[in-house]
Chains A and B, each alone.
Chain A
């Protein structure tokens, strides 16, 4: 079992677990007291709760040096001690690397109310300053503080941000980007976030924002690209953008080396992004690195799910398999290992263990026996306490990272997920098309290759937004020909997973414990 996932990262695109504040709180608070009763900590956790800290090569049950943490969930006030933030405030920068998400999502949802289109709004300025200081102080890379294009369709967002149109979202992002450019101290490298809900809007956004990455325009320009909106789920748009960046001179070695895809959980994308990274490195920028994040390991646990295996069958859909985890009060005194019980008792058909859960006993997960009262003095239905969630989150994180790496290993060994090969008429591999796009130094040829496979790109399903056949839709021209009233709802598939995460974490902390 691989306890050093950093060592096996190879040249794959980096998966960044979007670390839950609920999870990191355990690591942080335990450093300053017995947030978790020492008797409650599994015997196998040789470093106590710190064993969950995957950023620590010595104390973690496993080591993975890259992750994402969101300013939207963090305490941004660095003038005050906050034990719960210690996993990120006091980490070893030499052995860990963290991308800070900016909190643009929080702006969009109206969680950070202010007039974001007014450069002088004191509330907006305070938050802008806090986020920048937090990034410069704690993060290796950070996302720019974008105003998502969808904010104008979110009623809560419009009311709280005063942003009521796409144009105002652009304006608000200008203000934030200008502030960051003019006030950053250089300790944190920033990614220029690209938004847009269809190809036309994405192109418009790019044209308006690209100068923030341009060394000719700013000596302290941003250092790479953050792919949001349709840019993170539509491979056609991704490849179009990469071609544009390359030939616009905005994907240069030492200048714009990093590209991050927000909220990407499809396992196939782990291999697809590696293909893209390798092609760009081979033909244009040897430093180019792609990362992608998702909160699935944490969200899955919060929903009671546990990862049990990774499926990477040739020419099939590749998935992380999850099932409802063991939750039964009858196990509260059972000293058998979790991994044994779930098989012996027929709870799971199979179970791939992890360094986190391998030596954990079932009673360490199913902690409450019948009659036990939880922390709020009630007998709940679940046998889990809050720390049960944290342990399973740790397992799920390992499983997800390992799945990403295993998918890449299998891909390199010749197995191909169904969506990355087209065999209807000719046999065409995704990696070969990507190679062709970047092998040429002629922009016209590169664009033509991208467009030649316009239909094929629709079979490469992204995590959210308009994916698959829905990438061709009426939204662009509807907006051109119609004025719409009553825009009082917003439907963005899984766009609000961060929101879900916050709610679920609050539920775990306050109701279940």
Chain B
């Protein structure tokens, strides 16, 4: 239980722009979230069904959950369990009970009921895309992205272009300080559009632990897939434009 909770927090709240999560669990366990500015939508599925997550509920105040999960009182032999209640004849998950080994340090983290999470978190259904470019980014490329992002902090986004079989990321333009670098070589597709994506969100996702795969379409979307070992998270970033 603690592992999957830590995994969810790490791949949503810790990114800094996904404060609220919706869990749906029946024959499979899925996780959804969306940034308030719609810059990122994430769909995830755990590799194994999480039995304790039975039903639909929301996880608000993930900062609080993150603190409980890091609390040294719950480091060893803690009891961490999903609490449930019978409502309208159905047993629904209502929260997580944290109790240390000796039982004298407890916390209860409350879930958001299905009605409320469905209201608070819009359900964004991905229509699908034809991905023009797909690759596994190298650690070196991600490091180079960090270097450029640090050098160009005045901009919120970078632009993506293809040139001579390379996928290039551009920061700034002719009217500002500017820079570019090859993020991925050997791409076959040729982009006609110069789409922009948010630096901070892209960097945060690429910094996550796990196997990372990237897909881009010239129609204006990027998908970064991160397999943490416990779940596969698909982050979809609509390209940004005026």
- Residues of A near any B CB (own CB < 8 A): 198-200, 234, 236-237, 424-425, 452-456, 469, 471-478, 480-488
Chain B residues whose CB sits within 8 angstroms of the CB of A476 once the complex forms: 220, 238, 241
Q: A234-B242, A474-B38 are in contact. Are A486 and B119 (CB under 8 A)?
A: yes
Give the size category of B's interface with A. 20 to 34
Q: Are B38 and A481 in contact, with the CB atoms below 8 A? A: no
Top 10 A-B residue pairs of the complex, sorted by shortest distance between their CB atoms: A477-B238, A477-B220, A474-B238, A482-B124, A478-B38, A485-B123, A478-B238, A483-B125, A199-B242, A474-B39
17 further contact pairs, Cβ within 8 A, besides A198-B241, A424-B176: A199-B242, A425-B175, A454-B173, A455-B173, A455-B175, A456-B175, A472-B157, A473-B37, A473-B240, A474-B238, A480-B220, A481-B221, A481-B236, A482-B124, A483-B125, A484-B125, A485-B125
Could you jot down 14 A-B contacts, CB within 8 Å?
A424-B176, A455-B176, A472-B156, A473-B241, A474-B237, A475-B38, A476-B241, A477-B241, A481-B220, A481-B236, A482-B127, A484-B122, A485-B123, A486-B118
- B214-238 to A contact mask, C-beta < 8 Å, 1/0: 0000011100000000000000111
Q: Which residue on chain B has the smallest CB distance to residue A486?
A: B122
Q: Are A198 and B242 in contact, with the CB atoms below 8 A? A: yes
Partner of B125, one of A456, A473, A475, A482: A482
Q: Are B157 and A481 in contact, with the CB atoms below 8 A? A: no
Partner of A480, one of B118, B238, B242: B238
Chain B residues whose CB sits within 8 angstroms of the CB of A200 once the complex forms: 241
Q: How far is the CA of A227 from the CA of B219 in the complex (A)?
A: 29
CB distance from A484 to the nearest CB of B (A): 5
Partner of A472, one of B219, B221, B240: B240
CB distance from B68 to the nearest CB of A (A): 29
Q: Are A237 and B41 in contact, with the CB atoms below 8 A? A: no
Q: Which residue on chain A has the smallest CB distance to residue B175?
A: A455
Chain B residues whose CB sits within 8 angstroms of the CB of A474 once the complex forms: 37-39, 198, 237-240
Chain B residues whose CB sits within 8 angstroms of the CB of A481 once the complex forms: 126-127, 129, 219-221, 236, 238
Chain B residues whose CB sits within 8 angstroms of the CB of A475 once the complex forms: 38
B147 contacts chain A at the CB level, 8 A cutoff: no
Chain B residues whose CB sits within 8 angstroms of the CB of A425 once the complex forms: 175-176
Q: Are B220 and A452 in contact, with the CB atoms below 8 A? A: no
CB distance from B41 to the nearest CB of A (A): 7
Within 8 A of A (CB), among B123-180: 123-127, 129, 156-157, 173-176
Chain A residues whose CB sits within 8 angstroms of the CB of B119 once the complex forms: 486, 488
Chain A residues whose CB sits within 8 angstroms of the CB of B220 once the complex forms: 476-477, 480-481
Q: A481-B126, A484-B124 are in contact. Are A199 and B175 (CB under 8 A)?
A: no
CB distance from A488 to the nearest CB of B (A): 7
Q: How far is the CA of A189 from the CA of B168 in the complex (A)?
A: 52
